[in-house]
Structures are given as C-alpha cells and as structure tokens.
Amino acid sequence: MMRHAKAIGSRLERIHAEKPYEAAGLRLRLDGGVGPGPNLALATDLGFSYDGHHWLFRKAGFFLRREDRLAVIGPNGCGKTTLLRLILGQLQPTEGSLYVAPAQVAYLAQELETLDPRHTVLQEAAGSDAPDQPQVRSLLGCLLFSGEAVAKPVSVLSRGEKIRLALAKTLLSSPDLLVLDEPTNGLDLPSREAVEEALEGFPGTIVLVSHDRYLLRRLATRVMNLEGGTLTVFPGSYVEYLDSRRRAAPPGRPGRGGPADADRRLLLETRLAQLSAALDAPPEGQAERLQQEFLAVSRELRSIREASQA
C-alpha cells in the first residue's frame, strides 16, 4: 500500500511540475511549497453549525486531490461559502474532521478582496514582488486589460474590471490551491469568457462555488452538491452530473432493460472501475466508505445485468 501511495505521489508531483500555466500564450511556473501526496484535503463526518442548533450540513465526507477542479453547487444560503471558509481554515469544524495539506492557497472571495484604490491596475496586479512585467501584462491582456487600461487607477474601475483584476492578482500569486466564490457573478459575456480562459489555463487545484453553467461546464472535473444539509460528491464533469441527475428521476422512465438502463449501466461500470482503482490505495479513513459504495454499485449493476438477460 505504501508503494502504491508513493507511486501516486510521485506521478502527481510530475504532473504538478510539468504543467506550466498556459493561457493566451502565457506560461507561468508553479512554485508553491507543497510536498508529495495525492490528497490536498480530506473531510470525514464533517458538520458545521454557526449557532450549535441549526446545522448547515452533517456527516459530510469528501477528499480533494491535486488534479481536481471541484465545483460546489447548491441553493442560496445552503452553506457553500461556509464550506470554503472551512477549507481555508477561517472556520473550524463543529464536528468531525477536515484535514487540509500545507499548500499555498489563494482565495477570491464572493465579497471582493480589498484592492488598493491608490494603485494602478499594473501596480496592483504585479504587487510588491514585481514579477516579470511581460508575464503580468500578458495575463492582464488575457483578462481584457490591454494597452493603456493597465495604467488606470483602481479607484475608477467598474465592478467587472475589479473582479478581473482581483483574479489576475490571485493567479499571479501562483497558488497550489485556488478557492473561488462565484468568480463570474455579475460579469458580462466577454468578461466571463476571459475569466474562463484564465482559469482554464491554471494548472493547480481549483475549488469553485458557482451558479454559472458555462463556467461549470468548462471547468469542473468533480461536482459537490450541497442541498438540504447533505453533501454529495459526483465523480465526473458537470455535464455528466446533470445527465446522472436526469437519469435518477426521468419522467416516464422506461422499464428494465430499456435505454435508460443501458446508460445507467455504463455509468455504474465507469464508477466501479474508478472505485476499484481508488481501493488500490484508499485515502486515509476512506477505505470503508469506498468499499461500501463498491458493494452497492456492484449490486445494482448485477441486478441491471440480470434484468437485461431475463
């Protein structure tokens, strides 16, 4: 098992080292301080309540791997921002545990971080470290600040421009983990596309809260749904997530052996393969849950196969 864990660790390290930031011809090396190991975060039986009576969620279990772009979705007020703040260590779990590996983390909050109104766009993006000007300008260009726009003072920027600048600043800090809360909220189409483009080129791990279906489609590799106090993680893209929801409750679902079963079977087979790979080297504390899911999926798959042969 140690051998497996080591192999996965070094494979991820390689991926981590080889994938430079690429957006609109821009390359930015990742140089965060994370050691090897597949998991960035692991939650078991996690529960949170602000007042000790009303629980936003309980018994939540999830893990975050380095290659993940995890989308957190759910209705207003269900606790998405709260969950991000738990991951960031700004809040402590009320019950259960949440481990987050030491990593360089950047947070783009729902309420915009304070940008210094006395700075120009370029000064604010470059920061005191003043990284390569061409690199900064290139990212700013990707985020629609071209030519003289970089000389504008922050104080005159529109909200959309401030969001794009805050994102540039965040990306230029080369984090390992990027935590974003509704980054495209209130942006017009060109700005949204620019933000999508910049995020797509980011090589690190992303945890993203969003209602923006385009962004979710383009970015998410896993989907976490927080609803009615329960947190569930779907191990696939947003499109696959929507498909699986549709299949779970289709109107006038065809009988056993119909096309819906064929799709369901494919999904289950895929999940079974993922689970058996995960069980090779299960994240700490996850083995039992994975085994249980493995059994449940095998059982459902067997019943579908039997029905189709009947």
Chain residues binding ligand ATP by CB under 6 A are 50, 56, 74, 76-82, 110
Tell me, what amino acid is at 231? L
Number of residues that bind Mg ion (CB under 5 A): 3
81 binds Mg ion (CB under 5 A): yes
66 vs 80 by CB, closer to ligand ATP: 80
Rounded least distance, CB 75 to Mg ion, Å: 11
We find the least distance from the C-beta atom of residue 226 to ligand ATP, in angstroms, to be 7
Taking the least distance from each CB to ligand ATP, the nearer of 51 and 129 is 51
Whole-angstrom Cα distance, residue 3 to residue 60? 29
Q: Which segment (35-43, 94-102, 104-112, 225-233) binds Mg ion by CB under 5 A?
A: 104-112
Q: Which does 56 bind (CB under 5 to 8 A by kind): ligand ATP, Mg ion, none?
A: ligand ATP
How far apart CA 219 and CA 210 sit, in angstroms, is 11
**Pattern of binders to Mg ion over 110-149, x per CB under 5 A?**
x---------------------------------------
- Please say which residue, 80 or 137, places its beta carbon nearer to Mg ion: 80
Q: What's the angle, vertex CA 79, arms to CA 37 and CA 81, rounded to 5? A: 65
Residue of 35, 163, 37, 43 whose CA lies nearest to 109: 163
Query: What does each C-alpha distance from 298 to 268, 276, 301, 307 come to in angstroms?
Result: 8, 11, 5, 14
Q: Near Mg ion by CB under 5 A, which window of 77-85, 93-101, 144-152, 287-295?
A: 77-85
Q: Taking CB under 5 A as the criterion, which residues in 162-221 touch Mg ion?
A: none
79 binds, among ligand ATP, Mg ion, none (CB under 5 to 8 A by kind): ligand ATP
Residues 227 and 78 sit within 8 Å (Cβ to Cβ): yes
Asked if 106 contacts 66 with a C-beta cutoff of 8 angstroms, the reply is no
| Window of 76-84, 136-144, 187-195, 197-205 that interacts with Mg ion by CB under 5 A | 76-84
Between 80 and 271, name the residue whose CB sits nearer to ligand ATP.
Answer: 80
CB contact at 8 A, 71 and 210: yes
> With respect to Mg ion, which residue has the nearer C-beta, 8 or 208?
208
Residue 82 touches which member of Mg ion, ligand ATP, none, C-beta under 5-8 Å by kind: ligand ATP
The residue number whose beta carbon is nearest to Mg ion equals 81
Of 50 and 239, nearer to ligand ATP (C-beta) is 50
Instruction: Judge contact between 68 and 221, C-beta under 8 A.
Output: yes
Q: Report the distance separating Cα 263 and Cα 223, nearest Å.
A: 19
| Shortest Å distance, C-beta 154 to Mg ion | 24
State in angstroms the smallest separation of the CB of 241 from ligand ATP.
18
207 makes contact, choosing from ligand ATP, Mg ion, none, with CB < 5 to 8 Å by partner type, with none
Kindly tell me which of 75 and 254 has the beta carbon lying closer to Mg ion.
Answer: 75
Question: For residues 115 and 122, what is the distance between their CA atoms, to the nearest angstrom?
Answer: 12
d(CA 76, CA 212): 13
Contacts for 66 with CB less than 8 Å, ≥ 6 apart: 12, 15, 16, 34, 38, 39, 40, 176, 204, 205
If we measure between CA atoms, which residue out of 83, 151, 155, 171 comes closest to residue 114? Answer: 155
Nearer to ligand ATP among residue 136 and residue 163 (C-beta): 163
Between helices 259-280 and 238-248, what is the axis angle to 10°?
130
Could you list the residues that contact Mg ion (CB under 5 A)? Answer: 80-81, 110
